[in-house]
Amino acid sequence: QKEVEQDPGPLSVPEGAIVSLNCTYSNSAFQYFMWYRQYSRKGPELLMYTYSSGNKEDGRFTAQVDKSSKYISLFIRDSQPSDSATYLCAMLRGTGNQFYFGTGTSLTVIP
Amino acid sequence: TAGITQAPTSQILAAGRSMTLRCTQDMRHNAMYWYRQDLGLGLRLIHYSNTAGTTGKGEVPDGYSVSRANTDDFPLTLASAVPSQTSVYFCASSGTVGLSPLHFGNGTRLTVT
């Protein structure tokens, strides 16, 4: 079993929709949770970085962590065509420097 | 703009040849990493360095070597390339080990023929 599971999609939504992207994990030691956005032929770009459970909001993006369910989500409100990309979740235990990545979800926002 | 610079952006390499992928960061981050990204397999760690002068092996280190002579540079060398090393290679850095997120460069797309 992989430590981090992420549905690869692809996910296709109309412009203006609310998008929900999700990852599950198996290791309860994970303390730090990240979401990256990766455009085609570019490197992953850090979108959100959260510690422990709860919500964090940044503009149209909200990251949610539920440690009891070992489940994290990224919500995108009022989605735009420029949000079309692959979204990667990542996790860190807080000791050592090994990052655990999901394989990414491909999102297309249709104008 | 501060960040990570990788060179070259793409390369076609004959099998058996050697090559060094370059990576420079200007964020004064302690830790640096090399990942490869392959379809369906995601990002896999090749080598890392927690600080200048030290390096460590990641998940897929075979066929690759690294050095960390100073804080800013972290080159990745393929001594004798094989077709299975065809991939997109990303260099990344992070501040405080274990507590800070990764920041990535834009990658080197390598094809080994």
Strand partners, A109: A13
CB contact under 8 A, B101 and A95: no
Report residue B36 as tokens.
């490869």
Measured in residues, chain B has a length of 113
The answer to whether residue A10 neighbours chain B at the CB level (below 8 Å) is no
Residues of B in contact with A103 (CB under 8 A): 40-42
Who contacts B10 (Cβ-Cβ below 8 Å, separation ≥6)? B108, B109, B110, B111
Residue B103 parent element (H or E): strand B103-104
State pLDDT tens for residues B80-113.
Answer: 999 999 999 999 999 887 788 999 999 999 999 9
| Beta bridge partner(s), residue A21 | A74
Mean pLDDT of chain B: 95
- The neighbour count for residue B29, using CB atoms within 10 Å, is 20
DSSP A78-91: S--GGG-EEEEEEE
Give the tens place of pLDDT for each residue, B54-86.
999 999 999 999 999 999 999 999 999 999 999
The Cβ of residue A5 has, within 10 Å, a number of other Cβ atoms equal to: 15
Q: How many beta-carbon contacts under 8 Å exist across A and B? A: 56
CB A21 within 8 A of CB A13: no
CB pair distance less than 8 Å for A94 and B90: no
What is residue B58's three-state secondary structure?
A: coil
Q: Chain A: residue nearest B46 by CA?
A: A98
Give the per-residue pLDDT at A2. Answer: 82
Query: Is B1's pLDDT higher than 80?
Result: no
Residue of B nearest to A37 (CA): B104
Mean pLDDT of the B40-53 span: 94
Measured CA to CA, the distance from residue B2 to residue B66 in angstroms comes to 23
Q: Does B7 touch chain A (CB under 8 A)?
A: no
Residue A67 backbone class (left: φ over 0; alpha: ψ -120 to 50; beta: rest): alpha
Residues in chain A: 111
Between CA B91 and CA A75, with CA A87 as vertex, the angle to 5 degrees is 140
Which parts of chain A sit beneath pLDDT 50? Answer: none
Closest CA to A92 of A19, A20, A21, A36: A36
Tell me the CA end-to-end span of chain A in Å, nearest whole number.
37
